[in-house]
A and B are shown apart, each in its own frame.
Chain A
Amino acid sequence: MAVLVDENTRLCVAGMTGREGSFHTLNNRNYGTNVVGGVTPGKGGQDVEGIPVFDSFEQAAAEAQPNTAMIFVPPRFAADSILEAAAAGVALVIAITEGIPAHDELRVYNTLKRDYPGTRLIGPNCPGILSPGRANVGIIPASFFKAGNVGVVSRSGTLTYQIGNEIAQAGFGCSSIVGIGGDPVPGSSFVDVLDLFEQDPETELVVLSGEIGGSAEEEAAQYIAEHMSKPVVAYIAGFTAPAGKQMGHAGAIVSGSAGTAAAKAQALEAKGVRVGRTPTETASIAVEVLGGASLAAS
């Protein structure tokens, strides 16, 4: 098991013919992901190192039967690309693109909910999903992770690698690493992914990495208390972030007194979730809960 991506993934990449798109698509294929096609309007019939390019998701769906789409197109085209993949019946859409307008994200989220409830969106502005040993869809550097029983869900890419690497050095592996992205209206939130990890028999513990802005961590705290039987260890970034300043991610902003790191950590701790003060401490707590040796000894 694992969540969302695995041996059954059939990936089709929008924007595969671009520089970044082709680099990461080939990386994903080298890892073993089954890449069945790409979509670039006007380039149908071409190929990228043997991967066929289609003009549309509709055509790709008819000829290559993808069940997963990865979106690598520029921000102004991304919303339509996501909806096109959903309209073609693709069940999982992973949007890597950063910089999509918030109103477009709102339209996409609500259109998927109304018209394409069978499609799940991860991202945008996310590093993708890695299920070690099975499939990698996105830009997560697979070399730091091996297969195991820790599920990771995060709003930040590099922070995920930081924490995941420390857990790996202590000898533990991951079932799946899911980047939900740093934007104001993500397609999937912590709660959605926690639910998947709760159902995944292989996952024994979940590491949740959050940051300032919005209330997804507070909602996760509530969900964990009510629905999770598995332990969750959390980390929150942005304690020193001043109010009203966007910290890199479009969604990482404290608005007035809302969305602070302190409030999020408190909400989680109030529901019994242990929150690490640093990435290293977070990894240590996870390892301790899993019954492993202390990190200092590794």
Chain B
Amino acid sequence: MDLLEYQGKQLFARHGLRVSSGEPVTSVEDAVAAAAAIGYPVVVKAQVLIGGRGKAGGVKLAADESELREHAGNILGMDIKGHIVRKIWIEHASDIASEYYASVLLDRSAKLPLVMFSTEGGVDIEEVAEKTPEKLIRHHVDALQGLSRDEALQIATDGGADADIREGVADALVALYEVWLEEDATLAEINPLIVTPEREVKALDSKVSLDGNALYRHPENQGLSDSENEDPIERRAKEEGVQYVKLDGDIGILGNGAGLVMSTLDVVAQAGGSPANFLDAGGGSNAEKIKQAVDLLLANDAVKAVLFNIFGGITRCDEVATGLIAAFAEIKPSVPFVVRLDGTNDVEGRRLLQEAALPNVHAAKTMNEAAEMVVALAAGKSVGAGA
């Protein structure tokens, strides 16, 4: 779960990291009120979960109220790579002497926490890593001991932080590690971590991803993320506990098991189609669950045909067929379906479907055949005999 900049900064502040005072607002009038309280000059920052905000014109400095009105008015409602700006963050502008970079993340390969630090902040860190790797310190931390103050100071020193602010950088690294650990984050990144002319070390930006599986330990974090910009179908799926990801195509996809569904998307794409979603219906096969999944899938108006791909393991295909027939009776979908039932009790499942003679439902035996059929149907072509 990715947090907006200001949400990440609020987490930072809770753990003692220095950030500028600011306020999230949704209107020009509120922005003016916030700036009056904070004091000019202020920075107006678009709150969207996408990089490149500055280049898109979503970050502006305002010296006074008239500039603030102009910038806030322009940025609110702006479309940044498909993300509509509904919220802006107003913060007191900082003077910058140096821009550093700091992050803590879960290194899946080493299976350890990884602290990274560089004095080359404010730019794309992947570029620094590629072009001048010697300027990016990568330090693995003992997962059971945590990051010590001495270790953090060593990282600051090795990374070439100015001598007079090494202690400040070390404090920031320790606090950032604490954010990562105690908030169950998988990533906590500051780019840039700035040094002010007064030699203060401060987080000017934030990028934080929280582990959705750990939210039960953090009820206070549950309302975070960019829920206003979330796709409405994805949001509904989350509320219903269904694994659903919206994509830009026109073929609805539903299957059992995350790996099989990912594979189904690929096979459909290889057959020339364009998947409209990822939907893992899980192990269940009862009518209620299938109906819920089909409902979700059809909530996307772009869907022109649906591929239902089941490989029955513990899930029995005859139960899936029964569930599907019951779900269809209620939903009465208007787009064609291709149903591929394979695995446990597949013959019986296909027989049930055939007997039910659901309108516009086509049976397929293999994944490849099913993919070809659904691609043809989505393109408005007809396929062989229906189920």
- Given A75-B213, A155-B259, A161-B311, CB of A248 within 8 Å of CB of B243: yes
Using CB atoms, name the residue of chain A closest to B214.
A101
Q: Does A241 contact B (CB under 8 A)?
A: yes
Number of interface residues of B (CB under 8 A): 51
Which of A156, A237, A250 counts the most chain B CB atoms within 10 A?
Answer: A237
Interchain CB contact under 8 A, B262 and A248: yes
Which residues of the partner chain A approach B106 to less than 8 Å between Cβ atoms? 102-103, 106, 184-185
Q: Does B343 contact A (CB under 8 A)?
A: yes
Q: How many pairs of A and B residues are in contact by the CB < 8 Å rule?
A: 169
Contact of A257 among B126, B211, B214, B344 (CB under 8 A): B126
Which of A140, A157, A215, A235 counts the most chain B CB atoms within 10 A?
Answer: A157
Interchain CB contact under 8 A, A162 and B109: no
Interface residue ranges of A247-269 to B (CB < 8 Å): 247-252, 256-257, 261
Using CB atoms, name the residue of chain B closest to A244.
B2
Which residues of the partner chain A approach B196 to less than 8 Å between Cβ atoms? none
Closest chain-A Cβ to B302's Cβ sits at a distance in Å of 15
Which of A37-45, A53-61, A275-283 makes up part of the contact surface? A275-283
Q: Does B221 contact A (CB under 8 A)?
A: no
Which residues of the partner chain A approach B212 to less than 8 Å between Cβ atoms? 246, 250
Interchain CB contact under 8 A, A141 and B269: no
- Given A103-B181, A141-B314, CB of A249 within 8 Å of CB of B258: yes
Which residues of the partner chain A approach B258 to less than 8 Å between Cβ atoms? 156, 182, 211, 247-249, 252
Interchain CB contact under 8 A, A103 and B108: no
A198-215 Cβ-contact flags toward B at 8 Å (1 or 0): 000000000001011111
A256 to B52, CA, bound (A): 13
Q: Does A240 contact B (CB under 8 A)?
A: yes
Interchain CB contact under 8 A, A101 and B213: yes
Using CB atoms, name the residue of chain A closest to B2.
A244
Which residues of the partner chain A approach B144 to less than 8 Å between Cβ atoms? 107, 110-111, 114
Q: Does A81 contact B (CB under 8 A)?
A: no
Interchain CB contact under 8 A, A159 and B259: yes
Interchain CB contact under 8 A, A157 and B313: yes
Contact of A141 among B255, B266, B313 (CB under 8 A): B313
Interchain CB contact under 8 A, A279 and B367: yes
Closest chain-A Cβ to B179's Cβ sits at a distance in Å of 12
A216 to B267, CA, bound (A): 23
A160 to B313, CA, bound (A): 10
Q: Does A245 contact B (CB under 8 A)?
A: yes
Closest chain-A Cβ to B59's Cβ sits at a distance in Å of 21
- Given A100-B213, A248-B280, CB of A185 within 8 Å of CB of B111: yes
Using CB atoms, name the residue of chain A closest to B183.
A103
A141 to B312, CA, bound (A): 9
A126-146 Cβ-contact flags toward B at 8 Å (1 or 0): 000000000000011101100
Which residues of the partner chain A approach B245 to less than 8 Å between Cβ atoms? 242, 245-247
Using CB atoms, name the residue of chain B closest to A258.
B126
A240 to B249, CA, bound (A): 11
Contact of B247 among A141, A144, A240, A261 (CB under 8 A): A240
- Given A103-B211, A240-B275, A247-B258, CB of A215 within 8 Å of CB of B343: no
Q: Does B318 contact A (CB under 8 A)?
A: no
- Given A101-B184, A103-B184, CB of A219 within 8 Å of CB of B109: yes
- Given A161-B311, A211-B262, A247-B278, CB of A102 within 8 Å of CB of B109: no
Contact of B263 among A103, A111, A159, A213 (CB under 8 A): A159
11 new A-B pairs (CB below 8 Å) besides A104-B214, A158-B313? A101-B211, A103-B211, A107-B144, A141-B343, A141-B344, A158-B256, A158-B259, A159-B263, A238-B262, A239-B269, A248-B280
Chain A residues proximal to chain B, CB less than 8 Å: 75-76, 99-104, 106-107, 109-111, 114, 139-141, 143-144, 154-162, 165, 182, 184-185, 209, 211-216, 219, 235, 237-242, 244-252, 256-257, 261, 277-280
9 contacts between A and B (CB under 8 A): A102-B186, A139-B313, A162-B367, A184-B108, A211-B262, A237-B262, A248-B243, A248-B280, A256-B126
